[in-house]
Structure 1
Amino acid sequence: MSWESETSELELVAKAFQVISREISYQGLAKALLAEALSYSGATRGAILLSGQRDMLAKADASFPRERANFLASFPQSAQFGLPEDLAEEVLGRKGTVVRVVGPASSALIDATKPSSGKIAQLCLPLVHQNWAIGVIYLESDVDVGIFTPQCVRVISMLASQAAISFESVRLFEALRETNMWMVRGQQIGGMGSYRWNTRTLLSRGSRECYRILDLDLDVNPVPFEMFISRIHPKDYPALERALGEAISTKSPFAHEYRVIHRDGKSLHVVAVGQFDEGPTGDLELEGIITDISQRKAAEQALADARNELAHASGLTSLGELAGSIIHEIDQPLTGILTSAEACARWLDRDPAEAAEARKSIARIIRQARRTADVVTGVRSLVRGAQVRFAEFDINEAVAEVLLLSKREVERAGVVVRTDFDRTAPRLEADRVQIQQVALNLVRNAIEAMTEVGDGNRILTISSWTADDMISVAIADTGTGVDPADRDRVFETLYTTKGAGLGLGLSICRKIVRLHGGKLWVEENGRCGAKFTFSLPRRQAVRGARIQ
């Protein structure tokens, strides 16, 4: 071959390389390779097959688009391509090149027009990349059975090698495009966009979703800081500026929530988070994610509104319960005051007046008045909706203080107190005052329940224990007990405490216990009496509650 012909051939090959390398899709690349191979060789028919059943594609990374693992391009266009078994073994199995002359029955293009001659020439060679066979290029001719010369095979092999590299590039490009598509779609679904902000130039870049959240035009890249500021709610910008300044000065992770105003007046609630690192130019850059939380904010507001409405309704109900408890608690001392006052008047009306008896009546009036004052004091904090203050404390010590406060009543009633505290119990997280009020009310009720029991049989037993991360306290008496049919009613308003109770009422006691995530119930205490038990979780899941 002359130098001129070699130069011309090299130019043709170089041109073919350029044509093949420009393609960025499987279909375009396969068709370009087939067209160049047919044009150079002069073959009658041909096909390009990417096989998912062989080496590289069978072991390809999971990111490879599997639906494209089998791809066929042929000329003339054919729906089927039947590569003979011996060619498949030699070309795909051993990565060899086959040039041969066979009969028409051995044609791989089974849907092609049958050749007019009795023989056809076949050229089949693998598309190999990094020692993996990713497919085959197949050519055949029924015009000139000597068409596939060594020079022709060499050139076709060069085209195949370039195509194999291009096919791998397309695979990587497709995987990258698919990954980017998933990322874009994921950001759209999650309402979040990624960004990177240069703290020196104040220019930023962001994903498509970031542009949507901030209502920016996609052709603005990079985004000037002034344009970003123009989207921030004026009332939120000062706090955002301070947060950015503090994060930059300390190079600490950034997180801030603010509002974005679109050009059409639409307002979004967003939260931006990020961390600092060094950019390609050495500048300090903030890289992070901005998330549209408008729906979450709307849901939170709707929940807050619903809670306020519920709290208002519950407040009215609780007010009725408190009013009932007050009526029940102060009815008896007021009746006693009235009775003692009438008795005092009768003693003073006598001639001569019975001063000693009158003084006794006055003393009873004073005692009953003090009982009434205790009731009012006990419910005042509840009427005001006092904030529940959670803190850790020893439940045994708290109950022991209640017993100390009740010492005079215990002694006056002739009650024997027995305690069985679990000294290994962990500290309880609750409102100490409220829990002590519950315990005090239950102790006083137990004392009153034993007033009709003979001396020596009035026993008050208080015990505590821990089980399943719950701390329980039981207050048992040896009184007349509670009728089984009334055990649920004792927690209803106007059926609660007796005598000189604090004024909380058992219904309010149960409300306090439930507010702490616990429960309060009553059961029989052996053969006689009743046992009230309240159980509380060691740790509180919700804080900041109020008695409503």
Structure 2
Amino acid sequence: MTDKCDSIMIANCPDIMIYHTIDGKCLSVSPACQIILGYTPQAFKNYSLFELVHPQDQARMQRFYKMLLEQPSRDILSHRWRSRDQNYDWFESSSQIVSDDSSTETKIVTLSRYIPEHRRLEKACQNYAEYADVARLIAIGETTANIAHELNQPLAAIVNYVGGCLRRLEKSHCNSKEVYSALEQARTQAEHAGKIIHGLRNLLKKRELQLSTVTINSLIHAILNLIEFQIHNDEVTVQLQLTEPLPVIRVDANQIEQVLLNLVRNALESMRHCPRRELTIATYFLSENQEIKIEITDSGEGFNEETAQKMFNPFFTTKAEGMGIGLSISRSIVKAHQGRLEAISHPTGGATFCFTLPKIHDEY
């Protein structure tokens, strides 16, 4: 009775259920694959899973199954399957290792749920809004901290000047109580303002980094998924030259994703009016410095020497509607992670923004 119930549930499951080996060989698949992707179960079995997944998702899927072997989990993998009509559709998949006493080969059951385009767009917009909120809050914090720093200097001068006047009045024959009282009030108010701003600066100090162990390539894939619609709409060709494997890094993943997002969005905007739109993202391991290097290269207009000297300054921008804080914030984040952020303009056109992050010692 149990086997019969299982067969009925599999046959009527709206999601695609795949029974396969670790290397992607399909052993059986539920009928839903024909409804969603257009393949009969028998035709689907003629393909390796890695043949049907989008080329840009293959490495992530392979890592997903490798991590599943090392530590079983209920993580969700977002990826694209190729349908019978050669289009790619988005799915969210979860997998579980299945015990099979009759074989030493590892077997896996993967459940893939189709994600309609409108739901994926809603999710991307929600994620983008969250990143925008992070950027806005960081910008407010940095701006207010800078203002506080600038105001503290004249306030300190006021305190010193007023204090000097008070000392002169004490030594001279000028005993005007009204003048003395007014200067005393001025010093009191200036000191009070200084304490308020000092407290404001302490309040706005950057929070401690929320460190976690990740790979930079996984963060790159995450932000590319986030802005895939903008890449598609701008008709940009993306080339990934990601070194595999790379040492793991210990960073605040949200902040490093924000840096990547800022740099990639800047690259996309620089190519908006160019006939050739190519974005290349590369990662390397620099053994001499024990660092991970990330390069983001565009085929845009590049920048001149004057811009190069000012581009990382707060509020400097060449955009009509830009605030000029993205690169400044990005450099601050990278610096907080003991890294460096630099920019190079190429004589033939385009620019490369690169930054480094230290690897975790004794992990590679």
The verdict on a shared fold, with TM-score over 0.5 as the criterion, is no
More RCO (CA 8 Å, sep 6+): 2
Query: Looking at CA atoms only, which structure, 1 or 2, has the larger radius of gyration?
Result: 1
TM-score (norm: length of structure 2): 0.42
